[in-house]
Each structure stands twice: as C-alpha cells, then as structure tokens.
Amino acid sequence: MVEDELALLDKNINEFWNKFKSNVNDTSCQMVGLRDNYKDISKAFTEKLSVKLKEEERMVQMYLEYQNQICRQNKLIQEKKDNLLKLIGEVSGKKQDLEVLTTNIQDLKEEYARKKETISTAKKTSEERLQRLQKSVDIFKDRLGLEIRKIYGDKLQFIFTNIDPKHPDSPYMFCLHLNEARDYEVSDSAPHLECLAEFQENLRKTKNFSAFLANVRKAFSTMVYS
C-alpha cells in the first residue's frame, strides 16, 4: 500500500507539474502577447505623440511668426504715423509761410502801387517843369542868343553868347539837371560864378526859371564888364 500511495503521489505530482508547466507556458505566452501588444500600443502612442508634438511645435512657431509680423506691422504703422504727423507739421508750417508770403506780396503790390503813383506824379511834375523850361528857353534863345544841349548824365547844358561885345561868339555856360529829389541842380559853370549856388536856391523856391536864366546871364555880363 505504501508503494501504491507513493506511485499515486508521484502521479499526482507529475500531473500537477505538467499542469503547472502548461499554465506557466500559457501565462508566458500571454505575457509575450501582452508585451508585444504593449510595444505596438506604445509605438503607436509614441508616433501619435510625436505627430502631436510636431503639430504643437508648428503651431508655436506659427504663433511666434504671427507675433513677429504683428510687431513689425505695429512698428511700420508707428513709423507711418510719425511720418504723417511730421508731414502735417510741415504742411502747417508751409501754410503759415504761404500766408506770410501772401501778405508780403500784397504789401509789395501796395508799395509798388504807391511808388508807381509817386513816379507818375514826379514824371508829370518833371514834364510840366520841362514844358515851362522849354518855353523859357525859346524866349531866351531868340532874345539872348541862348543854346541848349543835352549832354551826359541827363544834363542840359546852357550856352550864352552875345555877352562880350568884343567877342560876341564867346560861350558862357552852365549845366542843369533834376536830382533824385526832383529839385533843380546847377553845376559846371564856365567861367565859374560864385553866386550860382544862391541862384539855384532861389530857383528851387520860386520855380521861376525865366528869372533864373536872366540872373545867370546878368552875372556873366557883370563879370565881363568888371
């Protein structure tokens, strides 16, 4: 009975061992399957995660690029704004300059009109004086042997003859012109007359050119006879 029990025990042990090995093999196969499945799942997850990370990196890169573009656009907008303000300032300054220039031009026009009127009046006065002078000249030319010549510097040269009985053709002369103040100015008498300046002042006061010519001729005559 002992041998039978030992044989049964040995049989039971062998069956247990075989079942155990079978279970271990099945478990090992399951573990390998789980490991391979895990590897596949891990690989797929890793690939998906890698794709996701790359996508996020791309989004971050795009965000940074957009942010840089916005910064550049803001900077460009600010520059354009500054240029516009500067241009507005320049236009405003030019507008003020134009107003000043317009005022100056208007002042110049008014001054020109005044000067033109003054010149016109002076010209008219000079013409009237010349007309009176011409009348006096005509009288003295016929009666006193007076000759008038126009010489350099818009001067008139007055030449008397028939003063010296011994030398009737001997010339006695002086020059006359209108100065910037439109007054008579006498010069270059030959022979020289000391009283010519006094005659000039009387002429400016009285405007009597006939009396002036008579006084000059009389002074030349007095010089001859003295």
Residue 151 lies inside a defined structural domain of this protein? yes
Residue 185 pLDDT: 92
Span 36-52, average pLDDT: 80
Domain count, the chain: 1
Residue 36 lies inside a defined structural domain of this protein? no
Residue 154 lies inside a defined structural domain of this protein? yes
Residue 157 pLDDT: 93
Span 39-44, average pLDDT: 80
CA distance from start to end of the chain: 207
Span 85-113, average pLDDT: 87
Question: Is residue 158 over pLDDT 90?
Answer: yes
Lowest-confidence segment of 65-69, 135-139, 156-160 by average pLDDT: 135-139
Position 141 confidence tier, pLDDT thresholds 50, 70, 90: low
CATH number reported for the structural domain that contains residue 171 in this entry: 3.30.457.50
Tokens, residue 216: 């000059």
- Sheet hosting strand 172-178, strand order edge to edge: 146-151, 155-160, 172-178, 184-190
Residue 69 lies inside a defined structural domain of this protein? no
Residue 45 lies inside a defined structural domain of this protein? no
Residue 55 pLDDT: 82
Lowest-confidence segment of 6-20, 29-43, 188-202 by average pLDDT: 29-43
What is the distance between the alpha carbons of residues 190 and 173, in angstroms, rounded to a whole number?
5
pTM over cut 0.75: no
Question: Is residue 29 over pLDDT 70?
Answer: yes
Question: Is residue 144 over pLDDT 70?
Answer: no
Residue 202 lies inside a defined structural domain of this protein? yes
Bridge partners, residue 157, by sequence? 149, 175
Give residue 188's domain range.
Answer: 127-225
Residue 200 pLDDT: 94
Q: Which of these, 212, 202, 125, 139, lies nearest to 174 by C-alpha position?
A: 212
Residue 1 pLDDT: 63
Residue 171 lies inside a defined structural domain of this protein? yes
Lowest-confidence segment of 57-71, 97-111, 151-165 by average pLDDT: 57-71
Residue 174 lies inside a defined structural domain of this protein? yes
Question: Is residue 142 over pLDDT 80?
Answer: no
Span 133-147, average pLDDT: 69
Position 10 confidence tier, pLDDT thresholds 50, 70, 90: confident
Residue 140 pLDDT: 60
Q: What is the dihedral of CA 23, 28, 34, 40, to 10 degrees?
A: -150
